[in-house]
Each structure stands twice: as C-alpha cells, then as structure tokens.
Amino acid sequence: MIAVGDYRIDRAVEYEGPFLRPEELLIGYDPVVLERSRDWLGHTIDPASGQMRMSFHSFVLRTGRHTILIDTCMGNDKERPLRPIGHRRRTDFLGSLLGRGVKPEEVDFVMCTHLHWDHVGWNTRLQDGRWVPTFPNARYVMARTEYEHRDALHAKGDRSMHGLAFADSILPLVHAERAVVVDDDHALEDGVWLQPYPGHTPGTVVINIQSRGDRGVFAGDVLHTPLQLACPELSSIACHDPDLSYVSRRRFIEQHADTGNLVMPAHFLAPSAGHIVSRDGAFGFVDAVMPGDQRVS
C-alpha cells in the first residue's frame, strides 16, 4: 500500500511477465534506446525471450469516502482469439483483490482510463451463461468521448478485440443500468478527477488525485513502458492516432516530470508507481516504495 495524502492505494495483479518484443509493440523502435538506458531499463526485458516484461493490474484507491477500482485488466472466460494471453483466461484475480481487503460488493466505483480489452475485462463475469457486473454495487464511470467512439463502432458491427470487449464487458453494464457516462474532465469527488489525453484512443483519460497537497495520477496507457520515457516519440501499435498519442504523452511527461507527483501507469512492473525524472536530456522513472509488493524477477 502507498499513500497520497490521506488516500491509500493498492494494486491487484492479474499477470506480470513477458508480453511482446519492443519492436512488436513500439512503432519505429530502435534498439539503441534500450542500450543507452540499460542501467535502469534492463530489468524490463526478459533475457530468454527478448520480450518486454509488463504488468496487467488494477489499482485500488481508497479515499476515505469511496473504494474505487481503476482499470480491470483482461478478465476470465473472455473470447480474445487474437491475443492468446487474454483468451479464455481462468485466474484468481478476485482472490488478489480479496488479499488487498476488497470484496466485489464493497467497490463503489469502477473507472477505466479507456475501453481497450485489457482494461475492462473484469468489469463483468460469466454467470449462468451471461455477462453480469463483477462489482454489483459499483457505478462504472467512463468518459463520454471514449464510450461514444466504441458505441459507434459497435453499431457498425465491430468484431475487433476491442469490439468483443465492448460487447461482453461494457454493454452488459449499460443493460444492468450500472454504467455512468461522464464528461471527459469529470470530477468524481473532491480530489479525484478525469483529464483527457487523446491519442492512444480518442477518449483516453488519466485519473488525477490530490490529498493534503500530495498529487498522483493513474496514467493508463499514456505510458505503456518506461522505454517511452527514454524515447517519448515511441507510440504503440495499439494507438488509434500515433502522432496525437506522442503529443499527449509528451504533454503528460512534461506536466509531471520532477514534480514529485506519483505516476501510476497500467503496465509498468511492480511496484507500478513512481516518479518521472529528467535524465540525460530525456526522462527516467524512479520506483516508489510500496510495502509488501515486490518486483517480479
């Protein structure tokens, strides 16, 4: 657990390990990026496969008023044939949440930085052959631009990975009247608010928090990997608009670098939280200390 003022933050991990090689994920990747920063980026590469080691996790935010779950990973039983890592998974993610002291019925809000398949999967679970909200008492908050973009694609018969996720992990929430579509700069409560950073998807948002003068931000996929701090120009193959993604990523980095703000991306390795710092004409990342959570090696 880590603190931002009076707020308490945990992470619940679904998977951490090798995922894709840098050249498979990052457009225009040059190995020199890794070589010149190997002293602090070397641990992110699996030596056996050459793949990047990445984490798929949710953050639990306790504000004292609400328990909020941010980004819900891949989910169980989902049809994701183009991504074997996410296809028909069977994991004890809910057990990981219980280990953090969170029962599904105790979650007040679920907030997803965007609606890609690996950020919405545990929104729903399979029960008696149908998808139902995993967190039955939660309101699922999603940014309007993002929801309307995916809804429009669904209406056109989208069968992409993200289209499948919209059908099994978003629409059931709408039908159950648990979905809440809000403006892209919506404030959930004092000290918790959305901020748009389009590019990775049209409606990507980050989730800002502030308490007792301390600042933090849940960055989603504005940053996929620390390699993008060493070279911010590297957008991912999953970006809807790679050029705009770079503009947003650069703006995000410059906003938070050298401020002491706690930055919490969706796929950085444990502890998945830290501080952006200026480094040799670019930027680096210094891990925060999250007691009880160790980096997987």
| For range 129-155, the mean pLDDT | 98
Domain membership flag for residue 202: yes
DSSP code string of the chain: -EEETTEEEEEEEEEEEE---HHHHBTT--THHHHTTHHHHGGGB-TTT-PBEEEEEEEEEE-SS-EEEE---S-SS---TT-GGGTT----HHHHHHHTT--GGG--EEE-SS--HHHHGGGEEEETTEEEESSTT-EEEEEHHHHHHHHHHHHTT--SHHHHHHHHHTHHHHHTT-EEEE-TT-EEETTEEEEE-TTSSTT-EEEEEEETTEEEEEEETS-SSTHHHH-TT--BTT-SSHHHHHHHHHHHHHHHTTS--EEEESSPPTT--EEEEEETTEEEEEEPP-TT-----
Place of tokens 């648990």: 178
pLDDT band (50, 70, 90) for residue 280: confident
Domain membership flag for residue 292: no
| Residue 118: closest CA among 230, 271, 15 | 15
| For range 44-61, the mean pLDDT | 97
Question: Cα(179)–Cα(140) distance, rounded to whole angstroms?
Answer: 5
Give the CA-trace dihedral at 257, 260, 264, 265, to 10 degrees: 10
**pLDDT in the model for residue 290:** 61
Average pLDDT, the chain: 95
| For range 82-93, the mean pLDDT | 95
**pLDDT in the model for residue 294:** 38
Q: What is the pLDDT of residues 90-139, one digit of tens each?
A: 999 999 999 999 999 999 999 999 999 999 999 999 999 999 999 999 99
Token pair listed for 148: 């309307």
The predicted model scores a pTM of: 0.95
User: Order of strands across the sheet with 262-265?
Assistant: 187-189, 192-196, 205-211, 214-220, 262-265, 274-279, 282-287
Residue 266 has pLDDT above 80, yes or no: yes
Domain membership flag for residue 296: no
Domain membership flag for residue 295: no
Question: Cα(1)–Cα(262) distance, rounded to whole angstroms?
Answer: 13
**pLDDT in the model for residue 131:** 98
Domain membership flag for residue 207: yes
- Residue 106 is part of which domain span? 2-287
175: domain CATH number is 3.60.15.10
Q: What is the pLDDT of residues 230-246, one digit of tens each?
A: 999 999 999 999 999 99
Token pair listed for 216: 């933090």
**What's the number of domains the chain is made of?**
1
Residue 8 has pLDDT above 90, yes or no: yes
Q: What value does the CA radius of gyration of the chain take, rounded to a whole number of Å? A: 18
Give the CA-trace dihedral at 166, 170, 176, 178, to 10 degrees: -160
Beta bridge partners of 26: 236
Domain membership flag for residue 293: no
**pLDDT in the model for residue 12:** 97
Is 63:10 a contact under the CB 8 Å cutoff? no
| For range 25-42, the mean pLDDT | 95
| For range 216-242, the mean pLDDT | 97
**pLDDT in the model for residue 281:** 85
Token pair listed for 162: 């993200």
**pLDDT in the model for residue 86:** 96
